[in-house]
Each structure stands twice: as structure tokens, then as C-alpha cells.
Amino acid sequence: MSLHARHGLGLGLAALTLALDQLTKLWALNTLMDPPVMIRVTGWWDMVLVWNHGISFGLLGAGAVPPWVLVAVTAAIAAGVAVWLFRSVRWLPIVTAGLIFGGAVGNVIDRLLYGAVVDFVRWHAYGYSWPVFNLADAAITLGIGLLIAESLFADKSPPKSAAE
């Protein structure tokens, strides 16, 4: 696969991530908000609407940081990830950058539209609960996990050519 095609794949994955994220958030807003409801999917998985005014996992929420600061920081990170996507030559970092970029833009859009991020997926078991999240958060987490795996286990030899 050419470098140009790999970059197209990364951008396509970012666009798909963004579109699915926004569609699932619209579903959550239309289904879970008025009146507020919780949908039990399984014994360990619920759909419940939560407004995240902070950063990941609700950290720095409750007005600790002005919303415009979170928008600016997240947008700057997304821009940096986009630059990273186009500077990458290996397919896995390009894919991870696409996932992270699409997820970050999805959460920026929420902050611009609603002043908070729409979270709605709740996993829990045995009295423990993972923080409520959304598809953008899952894409970012998957992208970071793949990036860590790639950095630990990938062949570090340079590619034979940039066109490969």
C-alpha cells in the first residue's frame, strides 16, 4: 500500500470514527435524555446519559477548568495528531492517529455544541463501575493501546521506501 493510500486510510478511519461517534451520541440524546432513562443491555452493560464537563473520566469537571480551555487544548491535541498522521510512514501509527484524531474531534464538537461531552456507555460488574464513556473515548483508548503495542513489539527497522 502506498504512503498516500495509508494516509487516506488514516483520514477515512478518522472520518468514520467521527461519524459513528456523532450518530451514536445523537441516538443517546434522543433516546436517553427526555425523560431520563437507563437501558440495561446486559447484566454488566447499561446505556445511561452522562454529561462530562471535565476531561477523560470526568477529571477536572464541575467547573474546575473553563470549557473554552478544554476545547482549545483538545483541538490543539487533535491538530498535533493530524500532523503526526501525515508525518507517519508506517500503517499502524497512521491507523492509531486516525482513531485518536476522529475521537478527539468528536469530543470537541460536543463541547462546542453542548458545553460538555455526551457519554452514555456504562460497564460495571461486582460492585465496580468503569467511568461512563462514548465511542470517541473508545476510539482514542484503542488508538493509544495500539500505539503502545506498536512501540513495544513492532519491527523498528526503517521501511525500504516511503512508497511501501
Told to judge if 46 belongs to the known catalytic residues of this protein, a careful annotator would answer no
Candidate list 34, 46, 119, 155, residue with the active-site label: 119
Would you state the cell numbers that stand for residue 52, as one nine-digit string?
462530562
DSSP characters over 37-55: -EEEEETTEEEEEEEE-SS
Beta bridge partners of 128: 125
Catalytic: which of 46, 110, 137, 155? 137
User: Quick check: is 119 catalytic?
Assistant: yes
15, 16, 85, 87, 154 from 4: Cα distances, Å:
16, 18, 11, 11, 21
Q: Which residues lie closer than 8 Å to 19 by C-beta, 6 or more apart?
A: none
Could you tell me if 125 and 91 are in contact, meaning their C-beta atoms sit under 8 angstroms apart? no
Dump the DSSP string for 18-41.
HHHHHHHHHHHHHHHTTTT-EEEE
Query: Catalytic residue positions?
Result: 119, 137
